[in-house]
Structures are given as structure tokens and as C-alpha cells.
Amino acid sequence: MSATKIARRTKKTSLAFASRKTSRATAVVKEGLGRLYINGLPYDVYFPNEFVQMKVLEPLWLAGEEIISSVDINVKVKGGGFMSQADAIRMAIGRALVEYTRSEKLKKLFKEYDRTILKGDPRTKEPKKFGGRGARARFQKSYR
């Protein structure tokens, strides 16, 4: 009976979510050749700005070449501006890599380098209130 069993090889995958301001990102890490796609495009096409590319790639550089060359990362992101999207992507990739490797050493490295790779920044835009132009600004009055 054991000769007729078919060995099913399951690929190891990891999924992580992250948000920054109004941006929401989902990262899927799976075995591969070291590619990074954001919304179906290579990262350098999606973010032509070099500073933003470096911000997105920080968790990968910290993880090391042996991990990066063996995984493919697909990220879906929506909402917000390009910088908050970059922060959400960075956090989603960091969380997904920690879950994929299950390495406490990598988790500690991310925390020491920059805590926001794993934990989010809860600040968001304050909503506008009545009686003014913005969240705090009020219309001026003159009695003369």
C-alpha cells in the first residue's frame, strides 16, 4: 500500500497584513527565485523613486542574501499615497519574512534596527470638525 501512495510536496508559504495611514498591504512569501512584485509589477517599476525603493527593500537587506534568493514575494497594496504604501509594504514584508523563517534572531534584528518593520505607527489624519476649515482651524470672527 505504501508504494501506491503519492507523496505530495507542499510549498511553504507565509501571509502577512499591514497598514499605514489609509494604505493596506498584503504580502505573500513563498519559495522562489528572489523576485518582488507589487500589484503584479516589479518593485522598481511600481516605485520609480530610488528612496522609496530603498525603504521597501530594507527588510530584505536585513534578512540576508540566503533568505532573499530563495523566496518570491507578491504584495497587494491599495489606498493612501506612495509613501504610506511603501511603509505598509515594508511592514507586511517584514512580518511575512519573520513568519516564513520562524526565526527569533531575524525578529530581534528587525526590532533593533527599526521597530516599525514589525509594529505599525498608529497615527492617522485627524478628521475635520464643523465650524472651521480643518481639524483644528476655526473660521475667524470680527466684531468691528
Looking at residue 8, its pLDDT comes to 52
How much is the pTM? 0.84
**Intervals of the chain under pLDDT 50:** 1, 7
- Assigned CATH topology for domain 13-116: Ribosomal Protein S5; domain 2 (3.30.230)
- Copy the grid coordinates of residue 13: 508559504
Are 59 and 67 in contact by the 8 Å Cβ rule? The answer is: no
Note the pLDDT tens digit of each residue in 55-95: 999 999 999 999 899 999 999 999 999 999 999 999 999 99
